Structure 1
């Protein structure tokens, strides 16, 4: 663990309060607090408490042990609450069908600030075949694998790009119905559960009626999250400030063309 390049370690120190000499002690402190909750049956006995897992939560909370414990508890409770998210149920086979639709893609290469880019294609979500819980499970699995295989993402963070090309008004109405019940857990997942640094959410090719979707989930957004949403419409020059063409697929004006989508390569191996 921590076989990271010097620039990542320096960023972790400057932005996340990560001091190598204190890492082990804080990890052990967090593990002890988790153990106390397990002994009182507040957390499941089979949850991961290895160093790799705990440092992920410490980085996500700037090495504040109590905040890390709070998010770790949210994470475990969320996994028990959402169907399909338990340790036993969440496997590649359980999310393969959703991932193969292409609703998610992982950007090849890094964004301008070192962030890992993830693309979400809402028009590819077949709401008649896949429930919102299945989409959450697929996203959860993808992030778990990404963070496990690429430790630097914990430090540099993630930038999400949502491409609404060919998103119909009918799809909009169907998604509205889903978000009325799922808007709160989705924002809970993003803001309170998964220990990721979400540096920005970018919308491209969004029709005017997408604003209704944002309005539904906005009450569940923290102010920090609201400030990180950028609407690009069809302004690719503006988008390229954050996502350079060499990391974007050809459909978004980029030069990337993979025979097998990176998200599938990463998750199935």
Structure 2
């Protein structure tokens, strides 16, 4: 019998955390048929287009002599699916993704779960154990009083987010359906706000809007009060129209949140009706840490050392 709240393994040897009524896991298996139909309709994922796109992106990668990434179709789908199988768009995103690691090594390198255990132990990043009604992966970031910058520096909080984003990027179901973020600003104070600078905001928004290869469908800000406007004004100049349309500010009006995310997918904290309670993010860490070797391998991809020296 599996002990609740402990790492266990299913019949296919995939790890999961038993939360009683649900299992929290990473969906590494191929996407189900209903999601593949979504991919066909929304992402142009048909045999002919896929064949043409794989050939073209490999050709484009051949031209990038200093860029080292796997050529397996499973890996290339990470970039082609969010780009709707347009190879030129995908290669641009790949280059942006790895160039960011060069431009901001202190923030975007060495992204291993084991290096960021303190972030998850602080319970400021949570992987919700279920997806929303559209199959989207859901992540919660606590940037209010729960976040103690003295224990978790802002740069480490961002690195922890990247660990979670990469975990979603390699899930076939998330590649198709995308993801959403809930940012909880409960009791935000100047202690947290003072950590942010325009340069950090510019880096973060560049990462979100130009680099990550995940269909970010929505960002929901909850428990935000008037003081949040001070923080938002730092980010506002860097937000492009596409992301602006996907930002939703709810304050403490969770009925507003429920218009976007079904109540059955949310815990009681957000006035949802889910049968599970929000798991402590130390459990999220256990899950991601099991895939540590995959993160180590991912760190070897990107531009060559020769290219980095030229930059």
Q: TM-score range by the shorter chain?
A: 0.7 to 0.9
Match of 1:165 in 2: 186
* SS of structure 1 residue aligned to 2:41: helix
Match of 1:106 in 2: 127
Structure with greater helix percent: 1
Aligned-CA RMSD value: 2.1
Following superposition, the deviation at residue 163 of structure 1 comes to: 1.1
Match of 1:147 in 2: 169
Following superposition, the deviation at residue 253 of structure 1 comes to: 2.4
Match of 1:191 in 2: 209
Match of 1:60 in 2: 82
Match of 1:242 in 2: 260
Following superposition, the deviation at residue 215 of structure 1 comes to: 1.9
Deviations 1:10-52 (A, max 9, x none): 11111111113432442232123123212xx3x3x4x344322
Q: Which moved more, 1:222-231 or 1:118-127?
A: 118-127
Which of 27, 35, 39 aligns to 1:12? It is: 39
Contact kept in structure 2, 1:204 and 1:232, CA below 8 Å: yes
Distance 1:183 1:222 in 2: 13
Match of 2:198 in 1: 180
Q: State TM-score, norm by structure 2.
A: 0.76
Match of 2:63 in 1: 36
Which of 154, 158, 182 aligns to 1:136? It is: 158
Counterparts in 2 of 1:179 and 1:24: CA distance versus 1, 3 Å: farther
Following superposition, the deviation at residue 68 of structure 1 comes to: 0.5
Contact kept in structure 2, 1:108 and 1:247, CA below 8 Å: no
Matched, 1:252 2:270: yes
Distance 1:240 1:58 in 2: 31
Report the count of equivalent residues.
Answer: 258
Following superposition, the deviation at residue 189 of structure 1 comes to: 1.0
Q: Extract unaligned runs of 5+ from structure 1.
A: none
Contact kept in structure 2, 1:250 and 1:257, CA below 8 Å: yes
Match of 1:126 in 2: 148
Which of 69, 81, 85 aligns to 2:108? It is: 85
Deviations 1:159-196 (A, max 9, x none): 11111112224323x13xx2322001101111111111
Following superposition, the deviation at residue 257 of structure 1 comes to: 1.8
Q: Extract unaligned runs of 5+ from structure 2.
A: 1-27, 291-311
Contact kept in structure 1, 2:143 and 2:183, CA below 8 Å: yes
Following superposition, the deviation at residue 132 of structure 1 comes to: 3.0
Following superposition, the deviation at residue 209 of structure 1 comes to: 1.5
Could you list the structure 1 runs, at least 4 aligned residues long, displaced by more than 4 angstroms after superposition.
none
Distance 2:216 2:107 in 1: 24
Distance 1:179 1:158 in 2: 26
Distance 1:137 1:28 in 2: 33
